[in-house]
Amino acid sequence: MQSFALTAFGIGFWVFLTIAAVAGIVSDYKRRQIELEPLRAAIERGAQLDPAIIEKFSNRQPREAPLDPMLLKIGGIITMAAGIGLATAAWFISRLAPIAFLPLLGTGILAVCVAVGVLVAARVLRRHQLQLAREPGTGGTGA
């Protein structure tokens, strides 16, 4: 019975990840459709369109605000906590299903490694933004 429960848990986990990924893709598609709806309506009405307007709607807008390193730090801290939680859960779950110890421990360690990478990226981004802000003529705001 324990084997069935572990299998059901694994299947549920992958189904959840699949649904989350597909929902993100569908959300992005719907958002893009809404962005292009005014252009499509103008074309259907036969309105004369300025090439600048077409360019504006057809190209994705670049990020207007620079990425905040604090957001990366927060993500890294949350991911670190999740990795430590998974590694700790591995010990508790191994009391019921000893075979689950190493896979769960490995998953926790993987999450900790991702967290370290995100925290390093936050530090590098912050240094880069400070360097740009100090350079004359770059127009940096000190992010």
What tens digit of pLDDT does each residue of 86-138 get?
Answer: 999 999 999 999 999 999 999 999 999 999 999 999 999 999 989 988 887 65
What tens digit of pLDDT does each residue of 14-65 get?
Answer: 898 899 999 989 998 898 888 788 878 888 888 777 777 777 766 665 556 7
Q: Which two tokens stand for residue 78?
A: 């949350």
The domain total for the chain is 2
d(CA 57, CA 64): 16
Q: Is residue 138 located within the same domain as residue 114? A: yes
Q: How many residues make up the chain in this entry?
A: 143
Backbone φ, ψ for residue 34 (5° rounding) = -65, -40
Residue range of the domain that includes 111: 65-143
- Alpha carbon 63 to its chain's center: 15
How many separate helices (H) and strands (E) can be counted in the chain? 4, 0
Q: Is residue 34 located within the same domain as residue 73? A: no
Q: Is residue 70 located within the same domain as residue 94? A: yes
d(CA 88, CA 82): 10
Global pTM exceeds 0.85: no
